[in-house]
Amino acid sequence: MRIFGSLILLFLCFQLCDAKNNCDRLKNELEKASSFTDTLATIIDFKIHNQKDTAILKDCFKNVLFEKYPLWTEIEIAQITKAPYYEDLLKTFLTESHDPQLELYIKFKILNVKAKKGEALDDLELMKPNSHSESILNYYYQGSIWLLQLKKDSLFHNLLDMIENLPSESYRSIQLSLLTTTLNKYYNTLPDSTFYLLEKGIKLSESIPETFYRAILYNNMQVKLKSSGDYKGAIEAGQKYIDFSRINGDKYRTMVGLLNMSPYYHELGQFDLAYEKIDSAKIIANESKDSAHIAMCISATAMAKMNEKKYDEAINHLKHALSFEGSLYGYNLSLYLTNIIDCYSSINNLDSAFYYYKKLETIDPDNNYGLLDYTKALVAPYHIKNKKWTIAQNFIDSGLADAIAYGDKSSESLTHLSQSMLYEAQGKYKSALESHKKHMAIEQDFRNEEKATEVTTARLNSEFENEKKLIALQQENERAILKQKQYRAYLIGATSILLFIASLLFYRILKKKNNQLSKQKKSLEKMNNMKDQIFQIIGHDLKKPAISFRGIAKNINYLISKGDSERLISLGKDIDSDATRFYQLTDNLLSWASAQKDIVTLTPKKIDIHSLVKHNLDLFQTVAAKKRVDMINNVAPNTFAKADENALKTIIRNLIDNAIKFTSFDGEISIHTKESDQWLSIEIKDTGIGMDQTKIHKLLQKNFVISEKGTDEEKGTGIGLFIVKNLIKKLNGELNIVSEIAKGSTFEVRLPLT
């Protein structure tokens, strides 16, 4: 008993020491503050860092803040303890406050209270920042309000601006809080550059150090990795999420982390491990005795059975999960209903699918969770079976519009399949076939791209087979003629010594002809390989950006009708980026075709290099902005060269495209010129990943090289540099490359002055 009492006393001593250390740290930080804004930012940063320990916060505020700011201290403690008079205290303080920054802080707190009550939010008039503390407060206020107002794009740009303009060591907890809450809210709908932000957040967390936000960031990272198809990476990130959740003593997040791991192992075919994770989660759920948590584990088992196409077993598990309906949250309940509709649809039990659809419609009639429109494609066959053509068509139209607007290819494919079934039931067999083709095209394009490329390439290859056979027959015929002439030469040599010398000479001529044929064959094979590469580009890379332009007007009209301005802005940026890629690729293909036919006609004239570079940089502004890459035109005005304008535009455009592709986020690309007695050099310099001498040699020597993915997973074709080299050669110029790994590359285009 004495030992137990001593342990309690020791534990209390540790707590008191920890509280004292935190108070001392806060006191030291406040002593460094040179303005009230510094003090305010320090307090907010301290609050965020210790948000899980209210005892430390109360103790430190009483001991450190109270003496100088008694009313402010009272407000902070009232918020921490959730005192009922907190809102009244804010309003009282607002009338008595004389410091504009503290007044702004109180207004921000009042807006948060309004948001919790569901009231409309007013705009907060921010001050122009003149220091890091003023800047971080502006980012924090604005970001928090936009988070409440669900302004995704504005939030994302606020985040990027904060990271770009503030040192990472400045008020790290505020930066980390804003970064994590934004990513956690929108991690599944933000662009690929989210990976960069996640890594930035994890580094911030490690530098503090803390583990609460780090767990959340690893959870977001695993979802992004999974959506990109990297299941092994998702498992690694997911395991870290579980580990840090355990360190934080957060059993709920530990359980969720284990459940998240299950589908990854399923995708990798490791079914035993998948069920092992679910079983571990069940232990935590059963210990908590929380019905909603238990239902989540049962639903995870159902999802596993669905992946194995064991729909009857999945249905039983989902019914068990739905038996906890009274304890389920809105989204989870909608998700379980959606999955059971999917199962019944898969086994063609349309009556049961429709029964659960009606339950889903009752729970979420306004489609707040985004699942109702998805299920419409699943239950449309029910209305087709009952010959309710109009209702079925409405379901299909609604599901298709939503799927296209939000880029859900799985749902879009299902709606085309349902449309095909409807047309077939109506006896419209030609239309049914067309809809079925659309369904198969999406399955082909987005579920098996490699097979799609193979099929397209095979189709295009057939057009060239006759030409190949014709050349082969011509070669065979020439060989037969040569053999006959060779035989005659031997006869002549046998009958006459004098004619032997002539036949020998003739034999040498024939041998030379054979060598020429061999070279022709190698040349044919080389061109055939090149042609195959081009077909792959046409069959795959050209098709991808083109798909994004289908139904743009319809898509935009749908989003306008829903009032989804955020998605409209995002769609506009995507279209602009795809248009740039589409233009670049088609221009390159035309240049390649012209080069093969040797029909490129150059018209040299005096060109303003500064204007030409500016024009090309403008083309890539949207693409570069996605990676926050600065592009600088250092070419002096009135710099001229004599060359073909279209050829030089194509050269510079390809080299800029290449530089953006291999430059990391927040990098820089600069273009400048220098002149010697014989040459004008145009240099495109980047701060990208660089390359070694072996790769430089391959780029300069080979016609085509296997394209590698860029720093943001950008795909390439390998055709761009081939065209650059071909056009520079026609301009009697030279291409030089200087590069160093991790430091960047410089591509120098040298053009003769005369």
| Alpha carbons 626 and 99: distance in angstroms, whole number | 39
State residue 495's pLDDT score.
39
State residue 470's pLDDT score.
41
pLDDT surpasses 80 at 336: yes
pTM reported for the whole predicted model:
0.55
State residue 186's pLDDT score.
74
State residue 574's pLDDT score.
65
pLDDT surpasses 90 at 352: yes
| Alpha carbons 45 and 39: distance in angstroms, whole number | 10
Tokens of 264: 């990854």
Tokens of 338: 């959606």
- What is the β-pairing status of strands 640-644 and 604-608? antiparallel
pLDDT band at 240 (very low <50, low <70, confident <90, very high): very high
| Alpha carbons 582 and 546: distance in angstroms, whole number | 7
Of the candidate ranges 19-28, 536-545, 607-616, the one whose mean pLDDT is the lowest: 536-545
State residue 656's pLDDT score.
93
pLDDT surpasses 50 at 537: no
DSSP character at residue 349: -
The burial of 440, by beta-carbon neighbours within 10 Å (0-12 exposed, 13-18 middle, 19 or more buried), is given as middle
pLDDT band at 51 (very low <50, low <70, confident <90, very high): confident
Q: Looking at per-residue confidence, does 485 or 235 come out higher?
A: 235
CA dihedral over 557, 558, 560, 564, signed as positive or negative: negative
Tokens of 73: 């201290």
Tokens of 499: 């004619």
Question: H/E element holding 461?
Answer: helix 449-495
pLDDT band at 10 (very low <50, low <70, confident <90, very high): very low
Round the average pLDDT of the chain to a whole number and report it.
Answer: 78
Q: Tell me the backbone φ, ψ of residue 678, rounded to 5 degrees.
A: -110, -25
The burial of 612, by beta-carbon neighbours within 10 Å (0-12 exposed, 13-18 middle, 19 or more buried), is given as buried
pLDDT band at 315 (very low <50, low <70, confident <90, very high): very high
Tokens of 88: 């009244």
CA 628 to chain centre: 15
pLDDT surpasses 80 at 507: no
| Alpha carbons 290 and 573: distance in angstroms, whole number | 44
Residue type, 704: F
**Region 286-304 average pLDDT:** 92
pLDDT surpasses 60 at 135: yes
Residue type, 205: S
State residue 692's pLDDT score.
85
CB atoms within 10 A of CB 119: 10
| Alpha carbons 287 and 305: distance in angstroms, whole number | 24
The burial of 343, by beta-carbon neighbours within 10 Å (0-12 exposed, 13-18 middle, 19 or more buried), is given as buried
pLDDT surpasses 80 at 649: yes
Q: Looking at per-residue confidence, does 5 or 520 come out higher?
A: 520
CA-wise closest residue to 565 among 157, 151, 185, 193: 151
pLDDT band at 244 (very low <50, low <70, confident <90, very high): very high
Contact assessment for residue 644 and residue 602, using Cβ atoms and an 8 Å cutoff:
yes
State residue 154's pLDDT score.
81
Of the candidate ranges 98-107, 215-224, 307-316, the one whose mean pLDDT is the lowest: 98-107
pLDDT surpasses 50 at 280: yes
pLDDT surpasses 70 at 589: no
Q: Looking at per-residue confidence, does 173 or 406 come out higher?
A: 173
Q: Looking at per-residue confidence, does 336 or 168 come out higher?
A: 336
Q: Looking at per-residue confidence, does 446 or 244 come out higher?
A: 244
pLDDT surpasses 60 at 528: no
Angle made by CA atoms 334, 339, 340, in degrees to the nearest 5:
100
State residue 358's pLDDT score.
94
State residue 554's pLDDT score.
60
CA-wise closest residue to 620 among 684, 567, 562: 684
Of the candidate ranges 90-104, 270-284, 418-432, 720-734, the one whose mean pLDDT is the lowest: 90-104
**Region 358-386 average pLDDT:** 87
Q: Which residues, other chains included, contact 633 with Cβ-Cβ below 8 Å and sequence gap of 6+? A: 610, 613, 614, 617, 671
**Region 34-41 average pLDDT:** 87
Tokens of 385: 């079976």
State residue 242's pLDDT score.
94
| Alpha carbons 174 and 171: distance in angstroms, whole number | 6
CB atoms within 10 A of CB 336: 27
Contact assessment for residue 422 and residue 393, using Cβ atoms and an 8 Å cutoff:
yes
- What is the β-pairing status of strands 679-686 and 668-675? antiparallel
CA-wise closest residue to 231 among 189, 270, 265: 265
Of the candidate ranges 279-283, 470-474, 510-514, the one whose mean pLDDT is the lowest: 470-474
pLDDT surpasses 60 at 173: yes
State residue 384's pLDDT score.
92
State residue 458's pLDDT score.
41
CB atoms within 10 A of CB 498: 8
What does R_g of the chain's alpha carbons equal in angstroms?
Answer: 34
pLDDT surpasses 60 at 493: no
pLDDT surpasses 70 at 569: no
Percent share of the chain, pLDDT over 70: 73
State residue 546's pLDDT score.
53
Of the candidate ranges 37-41, 166-170, 267-271, 680-684, the one whose mean pLDDT is the lowest: 267-271
| Alpha carbons 204 and 729: distance in angstroms, whole number | 50
DSSP character at residue 603: -
| Alpha carbons 681 and 423: distance in angstroms, whole number | 63
- What is the β-pairing status of strands 679-686 and 640-644? unpaired
- C-alpha distance across the termini of the chain, in Å: 100
pLDDT surpasses 50 at 482: no
Percent share of the chain, pLDDT over 90: 23
CA 327 to chain centre: 35
Of the candidate ranges 198-202, 431-435, 574-578, the one whose mean pLDDT is the lowest: 574-578
